[in-house]
């Protein structure tokens, strides 16, 4: 269709027609797997739309199919708090587990129970938010309470509609995955480029969605399957299957294989029928999810702290294969533990090629009588983690070799030792390069100091070039030292330094976990931080002080005391302090770390004898606060049980007013004066800060 330059009205009409057609054909191709037109015809429609938008730039809309190629490179991912938590599922491994699940359900639900069965796609859980039918946000699951905003990357996924067929507001949850064909193509391209292939489609999908450049994600061929309607205001939905049908009518991609059954025995037969057939699907699966269909029954069953009581994930038995063990290699971890790894002939298990599996320790090798040259049985635990199940001694030829742990470290040549009560051999050289690398990788990891961008490749280069010898050295890195690193450059160097600087402000429990103190995990680090409040008090504690804490046992207490009495550790702490790293407990950050203000640190208000006035209330911040920025203020409100929103409405309970407050304050006053919300609390900064200080904030 040819248009005159000034024919904007006709251009707008044609652009709308083209978008509707392309949206329809996207649904036919990507969701229903039933295309009606050829690829060439589809490409012609896309070219025509692109030409129109180039001629009339004012016609370009955020939801146009031409906008899926990705925008500018992101600086990082913003955090997204899930108003409805994204919980994990309890697991079942056999028919009896499913029957036990059914018994628990029927103890609560007296009416007949129907179950929905959905194939469990092996990918990354995501949440999609639509407002008035338009996609406004995509987020990762994260820890279930707080995820990452990946909207720019979600927009590149072709089977995710940017505009629904109806102007509804809703939030859906689904699984982002990489189809098998796209996975195989990506790995071929990586191998040809000299890059390591991804281990499985799930890792590839997760890595693609966490790319800061949306164009990379756009090229990866990702897809999404929706498995839940989390929130649909104004919609009268009575069952899960009805909600999925509603999502499908809106154009969202719902799995065609989903089925509803009247009893658990039918569910079991259905699951068994897919045990082998699932491998023929275009995507990887590792099980079947079984859900109670009735939404009222789901509400009656409720949740545990981690998972819904109305759903369970059935995990298929691991697929096994035989291969030949060619070698056992050794790697050194951050605590000096030397781990043996089996290297064997390539074998395909659960749809992916496997060549390596951890053997964990010398005792396991001896217990399973595993020898180099053996024919071995390999499987994937949960269809994901490769493991050596056993050797086949009856297949031996006499050429096999028994494995013996060396006496010297494979990295530095230092002595290896094994403590009487441990199965692990350790390198005891404190300056072993492998240990230094692994300690720094752990320190920078998400659950520790969360230094975004400091991955293994950068740590390896920094250690190999002598730029860092311990974690304190990270805080003394300079821009001119980073730029020459391979594939670094000016922008990445600046981003990395900013991330390192940001990590200085973490709460104490993050630092304690990042230090890698033996036996101290995330939970113990949080317990110690809450109890001692400051690292100096913890360093001065003896074993009696530590074991007086209910959650701390004698072995952990001895490990903590031994760590902090070591002169090297004391020197490290001094250097971290000098670099400006926080060594105090920050309750607001701790509550966010725990995932919710109602979680592990909900007792902060209790410890001060005060009850949080924000608990369960919706709070809006307006104007400029002089004592702290908006982000920090929001964190404190959320840590004290409140929910922060951006606009004043009839749902607002508290308005915090800073300097130069504008329309939000005026609207709040109107709500109060009109009688619509006479209980809406309007507080100034002084009152707000007084509340925060009463709950432990240093502001």
Catalytic residue numbers, as ranges: 120
Q: What residues contact 429, with CB distance under 8 A and at least 6 apart?
A: 336, 409, 412, 414, 415, 435
Question: In the chain, helix, strand, coil percent, each to 5?
Answer: 40, 20, 40
Which residues are 356's β-sheet partners? Answer: 343
**Is the distance from CB of 111 to CB of 297 less than 8 angstroms?**
yes
State both tokens at 119.
């194939």
Which DSSP category does 79 fall into?
E
Q: HSE of 5 in the Cβ direction (CA atoms, 13 Å)?
A: 0
CA atoms of 455 and 212, how far apart (whole Å): 14
CA atoms of 357 and 339, how far apart (whole Å): 11
The 643-645 sheet, strands edge to edge:
643-645, 618-622, 654-657, 681-684
Q: Which helix (H) or strand (E) holds 189?
A: helix 180-192
- C-alpha distance from residue 514 to each of 1, 300, 562, 563 (Å): 62, 41, 17, 13
Q: Which helix (H) or strand (E) holds 501?
A: helix 489-502
In the block, which residue shows the tokens 């940017």? Answer: 162
CA atoms of 426 and 646, how far apart (whole Å): 53
- C-alpha distance from residue 47 to each of 29, 81, 546 (Å): 18, 39, 69
State both tokens at 560.
């903590």
**In the 3-class helix/strand/coil scheme, how is 39-72 assigned residue by residue?**
HHHHHHHHHHHHHHHHHCHHHCCCCCHHHHHCCC
CA atoms of 682 and 559, how far apart (whole Å): 50
CA atoms of 603 and 33, how far apart (whole Å): 51
Q: What residues contact 30, with CB distance under 8 A and at least 6 apart?
A: 158, 159, 223, 253
Indicate if the alpha-carbon torsion angle 669, 675, 677, 681 is positive or negative.
Answer: positive
Rounded to 5°, the CA angle 306-311-315 comes to 90
CA atoms of 469 and 472, how far apart (whole Å): 8
Q: What residues contact 540, with CB distance under 8 A and at least 6 apart?
A: none
Report phi then psi at 290, rounded to 5: -115, 125
State both tokens at 399.
């050429």
- C-alpha distance from residue 521 to each of 146, 434, 535, 556 (Å): 20, 21, 16, 10
State both tokens at 591.
């509550």
Q: What residues contact 514, with CB distance under 8 A and at least 6 apart?
A: 442, 443, 444, 445, 448, 449, 471
In the block, which residue shows the tokens 């179950």? Answer: 115
- When computed from its CA atoms, the radius of gyration of the chain, rounded to whole angstroms, is 28
Which residues are 618's β-sheet partners? Answer: 643
Rounded to 5°, the CA angle 482-485-490 comes to 55
CA atoms of 268 and 261, how far apart (whole Å): 10
């Amino acid at each position: 269709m040819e248009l005159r330059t000034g024919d904007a009205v006709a251009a707008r009409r044609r652009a709308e027609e083209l978008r509707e057609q392309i949206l329809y054909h996207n649904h036919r191709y990507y969701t229903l797997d039933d295309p009606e037109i050829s690829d060439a015809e589809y490409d012609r429609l896309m070219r025509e739309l692109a030409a129109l938008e180039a001629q009339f730039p004012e016609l370009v809309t955020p939801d146009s199919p031409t906008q899926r190629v990705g925008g500018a490179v992101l600086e990082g991912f913003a955090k997204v708090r899930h108003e409805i938590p994204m919980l994990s599922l309890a697991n079942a491994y056999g028919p009896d587990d499913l029957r036990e699940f059914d018994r628990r359900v029927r103890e609560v639900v007296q009416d007949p129970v129907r179950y929905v069965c959905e194939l469990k796609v092996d990918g990354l859980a995501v949440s999609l938010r639509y407002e008035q039918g338009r996609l406004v946000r995509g987020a990762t699951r994260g820890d279930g309470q707080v995820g990452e905003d990946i909207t720019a990357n979600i927009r590149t996924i072709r089977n995710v509609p940017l505009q629904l067929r109806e102007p509804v507001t809703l939030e859906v949850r689904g699984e982002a995955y990489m189809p098998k064909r796209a996975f195989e193509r990506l790995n071929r391209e990586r191998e040809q480029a000299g890059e390591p292939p991804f281990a499985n489609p799930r890792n590839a999908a997760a890595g693609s969605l966490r790319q800061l450049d949306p164009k990379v994600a756009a090229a990866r061929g990702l897809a999404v399957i929706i498995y839940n309607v989390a929130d649909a205001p104004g919609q009268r939905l009575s069952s899960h299957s009805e909600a999925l049908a509603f999502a499908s009518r809106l154009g969202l991609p719902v799995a065609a294989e989903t089925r509803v059954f009247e009893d658990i025995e039918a569910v079991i037969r259905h699951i068994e029928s897919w045990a082998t057939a699932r491998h023929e699907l275009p995507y990887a699966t590792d099980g079947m999810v079984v859900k109670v269909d009735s939404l009222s029954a789901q509400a009656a069953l409720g949740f545990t702290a981690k998972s819904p009581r109305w759903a369970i994930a059935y995990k298929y038995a691991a697929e096994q294969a035989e291969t030949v063990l060619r070698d056992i290699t050794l790697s050194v971890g951050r605590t000096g533990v030397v781990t043996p790894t089996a290297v064997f002939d390539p074998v395909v298990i659960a749809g992916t090629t496997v060549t390596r599996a951890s053997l964990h320790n010398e005792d396991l090798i001896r217990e399973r009588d595993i020898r180099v040259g053996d024919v071995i049985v390999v499987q994937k635990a949960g269809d994901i983690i490769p493991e050596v199940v056993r050797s086949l001694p009856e297949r031996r030829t006499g050429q096999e070799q028994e494995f013996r742990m060396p006496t010297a470290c494979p990295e530095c040549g230092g002595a290896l030792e094994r403590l009487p009560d441990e199965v692990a051999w350790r390198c005891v050289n404190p300056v072993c390069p492998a240990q230094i690398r692994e300690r720094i990788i752990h320190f920078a990891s998400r659950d520790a100091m969360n230094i975004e961008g400091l991955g293994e490749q950068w740590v390896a280069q920094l250690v190999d070039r002598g730029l860092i010898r311990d974690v304190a050295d990270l805080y003394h890195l300079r821009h001119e030292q980073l730029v020459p690193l391979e594939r670094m450059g000016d922008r990445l160097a600046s981003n990395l330094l900013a991330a390192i600087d940001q990590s200085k402000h973490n709460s104490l429990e993050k630092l304690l976990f990042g230090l890698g103190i033996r036996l101290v995990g995330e939970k113990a680090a949080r317990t110690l931080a809450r109890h001692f409040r400051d690292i100096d008090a913890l360093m001065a504690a003896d074993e009696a002080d530590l074991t007086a804490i209910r959650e701390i046992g004698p072995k952990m207490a001895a490990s903590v005391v031994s760590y902090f009495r070591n002169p090297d550790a004391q020197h490290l702490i001094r250097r971290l302090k000098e670099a400006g790293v926080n060594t105090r407990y920050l309750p607001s950050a701790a509550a966010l770390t725990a995932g919710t203000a109602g979680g592990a640190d909900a007792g902060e208000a209790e410890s001060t004898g005060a009850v949080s006035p924000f608990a369960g209330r919706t709070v809006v911040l307006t104007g400029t606060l002089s004592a702290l920025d908006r982000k920090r203020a929001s964190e404190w409100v959320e840590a004290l049980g409140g929910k922060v929103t951006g606009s004043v409405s009839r749902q607002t309970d508290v308005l915090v007013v800073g300097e130069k407050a504008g329309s939000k304050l005026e609207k709040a006053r109107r709500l109060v004066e009109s009688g619509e919300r006479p209980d809406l609390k309007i507080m100034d900064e002084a009152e707000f800060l007084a509340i925060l200080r009463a709950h432990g904030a240093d502001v």
